[in-house]
Amino acid sequence: MAFSWVMLYLALALRTAEATQAAGQTLMFLLTFLSSAFVPLATMPGWLQAIARANPVTYAVDALRALLVGGPAARPVLLAVAWTAGLVVVFAPLAVRRYRHG
């Protein structure tokens, strides 16, 4: 839901299907590979840990791992929900405003 608002805003800002697709794929590629989806944070270099910690995909992946594998899930789930809510709060009004003022 949160990323749909981000992508909608990008689509309205870029205006062409090709540019929107390229930007969306690039954004999702970077967010996925610069997260803890494939490698644990502890094994990353320091500079990459900082980027991964500022990445909403990291928190979604951590929450899913905690829920599926077990272990403490409250903190990861709350952080994932907070990131989701934050993205919606920021990008939903931006996308609606962009749509209205074309």
pLDDT digits (tens, 9 = 90+) for 8-61: 999 999 989 999 999 999 999 999 999 999 999 999 999 999 999 999 999 999
Predicted TM-score (pTM) of the model is: 0.86
Looking at the structure of the chain, the number of domains it has is 1
Per-residue model confidence (pLDDT) at position 102:
76
| Closest-CA residue to 4 (of 62, 102, 64, 84) | 84
| Closest-CA residue to 91 (of 18, 12, 16) | 12
- Phi, psi of 24, rounded to the nearest 5 degrees: -65, -45
Per-residue model confidence (pLDDT) at position 15:
87
Residue 88 scores a pLDDT above 80: yes
What range defines the domain where residue 8 resides? Answer: 2-101
What angle do the packed helices 56-69 and 74-101 form, to 10 degrees?
140
Residue 1 scores a pLDDT above 90: no
